[in-house]
Amino acid sequence: MAIRRSELIDPDNAGYYHLISRCVRRTFLCGKDPETNKDYNYRRQWIESRILELANYFAIEVFSYAVMHNHYHLVVYSDPKLPDTWSDLDVADKWLNVFPGKFNNPKFKTQRDLKIQAIVKEPELLTKYRERLGSISWLMRRINEPLAKKSNAEEHCKGHFWDSFLRPAKTAYITSM
């Protein structure tokens, strides 16, 4: 039985984790579906690109990943307190990269700069973003949500696409660096 991440992850200490996300319905994430004969191998690149992109913005190092036909695995080192050492500008910039909207379009550079300045002037917002940029759950959310939306759109369906769970790594938590 799967255990919720919030029950396994200590939000105050760094540690190594084995994360898994699998499809909830009988669908193919990657590979060739023998029932429909559809080939979903191109989705592997979607997932790999998303994992590697987001690793640049979260306080999480990706050591390894594997993308299977109906699920993927990540082995990560998470340091939830690392964002506390980042400057306010870095936090605002990373947050806008994680949730870009129109702000990553060069056409909106001025609006992006103004948005960064607005975030920097809001200490409560910065605190919330620091916490989220150190959170495994937020990383997984940002990996999975866009992929679920794309996949559901392709398959002309709605609803849950992922079922997530975590296995604690054998390595003990690292409490200081």
Q: What is the pLDDT of residue 174?
A: 37
Kindly list the domain boundaries of the chain, sorted by start residue: 1-81+134-177, 84-133
pLDDT in tens, 125-177: 999 999 999 999 899 889 888 787 776 667 666 666 555 444 444 443 333 33
CATH number of 1-81+134-177: 3.30.70.1290
List the one residue out of 74, 98, 81, 91 whose CA is nearest residue 17.
74
Helix and strand counts by DSSP (H, E) for the chain: 6, 4
Average of per-residue pLDDT values in the chain? 82
CA dist., res. 45 & res. 43, Å (int): 5
Ranges in the chain, pLDDT < 50: 164-177
The model's pTM: 0.80
